[in-house]
Structure 1
Amino acid sequence: MAKKNESLLRMLFEAPWWVSVLISGFSYLFLNYIFPRLLVSDAMVSQAFLNAARDLSPMVALVFLFPAPFAFLRSYISKKRLENTSSVSDIAKLDWMEFEALLGEFYRQQGYTVKQKLSHSSDGGVDIKLTKDRKVSLVQCKHWKKQKVGVKVLRELYGVLLDSKADKMIVITSGEFTIDAQQFAQHKEFDLINGVQLVSMLAQTQQSNDTVNIDISTQEYGTPLGNRKPIETTSLSTCPKCGSELTLRTARKGSNAGKQFYGCIGFPKCRYTRSK
């Protein structure tokens, strides 16, 4: 029983904060109003259980409510981290747990149901499990600053993919993949995403509520070399505000949809734009 309670509480810490609030409220109502109706009213033992349930209801509700502020804080920090990560150097400053939390928040904002366990325990080749439109994708995160992800890693993950019967395996690294790894991933249900591609993906989410939006998706930037679509941004000059590079982008929303402009790659820290 202790293990089940521990597992439930851990799930609440990782779930959205409002899940704890709902379960807390339901447990209080159940013990005070629903549970009494299930008991035989004329039995002394039932009255004893009723009194005990009512006495315990505030404590049980508080136990289930306890993870809510921590879950809220975790979500807030993850969203802020996503907003402030705009370069490969920003990613390099993260530790492995922050890196995985960043990716989990990214996919949540893309509409995926995200299941991840941020702990030191063995993950079996899966750091994040994504579900969307009845399709399941597995994500393995490699926060390697110097070492490249090689073909040996992908062979092991391919076995995990086949055993799990998932639709896709996504491997994300803060660094690079070896040529052998890229060749191995071709014609298999793999998406390989390196540090530069990841920054481009994050930029899409960071600008999703703005008028201008980079036309970037996981599908375009996650495929192996040789199958990848051309990148739609090209470097041009430098930003007069922060000195970063300017890239040619295409507006996807608003009155300027379809028009091209130059924007700073330091977005959202720098919002400088210039018409083409």
Structure 2
Amino acid sequence: MGRGRDNPFDGLAALPWPVALVVGLLGYAAIRHGVPAYVARLDGPLAQALAMQRDALAPIAWLFLGGCSIASLAAFVRARRRRRLLDACTQLDHVAALGWRDFERLVGEAFRRQGYGIEETGLGGADGGIDLILHKGGQRTLVQCKQWRRRQVPVGVVREMYGLLAHHRAQAVRIAALGGFTRDAARFAQGKPIDLIDGPTLLAMIRSVQAAEPSRADTRDAPVVSQPTGPVEHDPDPGHQAGASTDCPRCGATMVRRANRRTGATFWGCSGYPACRGTR
């Protein structure tokens, strides 16, 4: 079942939220002030009549700005939901419990945090297809997401995606599938610009981007200890220097010293992060 966009505001909502807001402000200025100023410079009775009715364009300008503001708010809410969705997935069971739409959002957010531009094509659906197009460095990559928990992706699906490369002028294909791939599918992908991402590989990618960009909840309430700011380091006796036990209060693992990126303050965090988020 397709997910095509019905109007331009849906397209704006798919972009970063500041883009829609800027488009709304520019459109408002153009409709409210730019068009009347341009018409006023024209000759003829019709142009003069339109110039005298410049206030008639005000409702249209406000309507355009309001629509873009709604699209901007929708984009902000979607982006926040995707971020929370990825931050909450710390185990493969969490990923498997998602619906297929949230699974696609999760995969897209994981690539987004790696610096890719994401285009939600609307060509996929519950049964598959091109779900995402990645943009980075002038390269286009087609992505299909398969949340099959107990089925492996057959070679036919991989062959079909490979055949779409030329049609969409893309350079590579990536297929994310929880259940993995058949031997024939893996054999077909060898030597081709096809990246097969099974469940464990996807989880490793998610944990990698989580570690690269810790959520605010991990550091905003972290206690400040009198240690110099620096990179993460293991300490043989964190309890002695931090005034706490040497073990994580959640899982019992060894604590390591971490630095808050925003304040520079250091605190003790679990060495098992992001699987465990215990702090002292």
Query: Which bracket does the TM-score occupy, shorter chain normalised?
Result: 0.7 to 0.9
Deviates further, 31-40 or 198-207: 31-40
Tell me how far apart the structure 2 counterparts of residues 124 and 87 of structure 1 sit (CA, whole Å): 24
Tell me how far apart the structure 1 counterparts of residues 181 and 128 of structure 2 sit (CA, whole Å): 21
Q: Match of 2:274, as an amino acid? A: F
Tell me how far apart the structure 1 counterparts of residues 191 and 12 of structure 2 sit (CA, whole Å): 39
- Following superposition, the deviation at residue 6 of structure 1 comes to 3.9
- Residue of 167, 176, 181 corresponding to 2:180: 176
8 Å contact 1:113–1:130 — kept in the other structure?
yes
8 Å contact 1:100–1:118 — kept in the other structure?
no
Q: Match of 1:156, as an amino acid? A: E
Structure 2 counterpart of 1:12: 12
Tell me how far apart the structure 1 counterparts of residues 45 and 58 of structure 2 sit (CA, whole Å): 16
Determine whether 1:69 maps to 2:89.
Answer: no
Structure 1 counterpart of 2:164: 160
Tell me how far apart the structure 1 counterparts of residues 63 and 275 of structure 2 sit (CA, whole Å): 44
Structure 2 counterpart of 1:27: 27
- Following superposition, the deviation at residue 240 of structure 1 comes to 6.9
8 Å contact 1:141–1:172 — kept in the other structure?
yes
Tell me how far apart the structure 2 counterparts of residues 122 and 162 of structure 1 sit (CA, whole Å): 24
Instruction: Specify whether residues 191 and 241 from structure 1 end up closer, same or farther in structure 2 by C-alpha distance, changes over 3 A only.
Output: farther
Q: Which runs of 4+ in 1 moved over 2 A?
A: 40-52, 117-125, 162-165, 209-212, 239-244, 268-272
Q: Which has the larger radius of gyration?
A: 2
SS in 2 for 1:39: helix
- Residue of 109, 112, 134 corresponding to 2:138: 134
Tell me how far apart the structure 2 counterparts of residues 154 and 95 of structure 1 sit (CA, whole Å): 22
- Which runs of no fewer than 5 residues in structure 1 stay unpaired? 213-238, 255-261
Q: Match of 2:277, as an amino acid? A: C
8 Å contact 2:128–2:145 — kept in the other structure?
no
The Cα RMSD (Å) is 3.2
Instruction: Specify whether residues 43 and 59 from structure 1 end up closer, same or farther in structure 2 by C-alpha distance, changes over 3 A only.
Output: farther
- Following superposition, the deviation at residue 120 of structure 1 comes to 6.8
Determine whether 1:267 maps to 2:268.
Answer: no
- Which runs of no fewer than 5 residues in structure 2 stay unpaired? 215-230, 233-246, 262-269
Tell me how far apart the structure 2 counterparts of residues 80 and 162 of structure 1 sit (CA, whole Å): 35
Q: Match of 2:29, as an amino acid? A: L
Tell me how far apart the structure 2 counterparts of residues 197 and 241 of structure 1 sit (CA, whole Å): 29
Q: What is the CA deviation profile of residues 147-199 of structure 1, one whole-angstrom value per residue up to 9, with x for unaligned ones? A: 11111111111111233231100000122111111111001110000010111
- Residue of 93, 113, 116 corresponding to 1:112: 116
- Residue of 134, 143, 149 corresponding to 2:147: 143
SS in 2 for 1:207: helix
Q: Match of 1:151, as an amino acid? A: V
Quick one: percent identity of the two aligned structures? 27
Structure 1 counterpart of 2:46: 45
Tell me how far apart the structure 1 counterparts of residues 165 and 128 of structure 2 sit (CA, whole Å): 11
1:211-222 equivalences under 5 Å are 211=231
Tell me how far apart the structure 1 counterparts of residues 164 and 152 of structure 2 sit (CA, whole Å): 20
TM-score, scaled relative to structure 1: 0.73
TM-score, scaled relative to structure 2: 0.72
Tell me how far apart the structure 2 counterparts of residues 181 and 120 of structure 1 sit (CA, whole Å): 20
Structure 2 counterpart of 1:220: none
Structure 1 counterpart of 2:61: 57
Tell me how far apart the structure 2 counterparts of residues 269 and 56 of structure 1 sit (CA, whole Å): 52
Tell me how far apart the structure 2 counterparts of residues 9 and 123 of structure 1 sit (CA, whole Å): 27
Tell me how far apart the structure 2 counterparts of residues 167 and 119 of structure 1 sit (CA, whole Å): 18
Tell me how far apart the structure 2 counterparts of residues 140 and 14 of structure 1 sit (CA, whole Å): 18
Tell me how far apart the structure 2 counterparts of residues 141 and 199 of structure 1 sit (CA, whole Å): 14
8 Å contact 2:250–2:278 — kept in the other structure?
no
Instruction: Specify whether residues 120 and 143 from structure 1 end up closer, same or farther in structure 2 by C-alpha distance, changes over 3 A only.
Output: same
Instruction: Specify whether residues 76 and 107 from structure 1 end up closer, same or farther in structure 2 by C-alpha distance, changes over 3 A only.
Output: same
- Following superposition, the deviation at residue 79 of structure 1 comes to 0.5
Tell me how far apart the structure 2 counterparts of residues 159 and 18 of structure 1 sit (CA, whole Å): 36
Q: How many residues align?
A: 230
- Following superposition, the deviation at residue 86 of structure 1 comes to 1.3
Tell me how far apart the structure 2 counterparts of residues 270 and 141 of structure 1 sit (CA, whole Å): 28
